[in-house]
Amino acid sequence: MFDDLETAMATIIAVFQKYSERDGDKHKLKKSELKDLLHDELPDLMAHVKDQSTLDSLMDSLDADGDSECNFQEFMRFVSMVTVCCHEFFEHEDD
């Protein structure tokens, strides 16, 4: 049986693989796969994104190696940034 953090880590990996395996290289997310992942897995966050250029800018900022795809390390940077930004919100939810 996994502890909470182990479960969270396994879930993040499973979500990445679920979308990266859809088309081509299972180790990278294409822009379309990343957009699907964001809309499907983070619908509340994405509801606040009104402009397509915002998503394009996000993809560009995630793409550290410039290959127009998002590998797992780049994806984890994004997950970490969003989690840090949301920490205060989640902290107050428990009160």
pTM of the model: 0.81
Tell me which of 66 and 8 has the higher pLDDT: 8
27: number of Cβ within 10 Å: 12
Residue 51 scores a pLDDT above 60? yes
What's the pLDDT score for residue 95? 57
Q: What is the pLDDT, as a whole number, of residue 13?
A: 97
Q: What is the architecture, at CATH level 2, of domain 4-93?
A: Orthogonal Bundle (1.10)
User: Two tokens at 58?
Assistant: 């996000």
44 pLDDT more than 80 = yes
Residue 68, pLDDT > 60, answer yes
Say what the pLDDT of residue 1 is. 67
Q: Is 52 in a helix, a strand, or coil? A: helix
Neighbours of 19 (CB within 10 A): 22
H-only helix segments in 21-71? 31-41, 43-46, 52-62
Q: What mean pLDDT do residues 48-69 have? A: 81
Tokens of 49: 């994104």
How much is the mean pLDDT over the chain? 86
Q: Domain-by-domain residue ranges, the chain?
A: 4-93
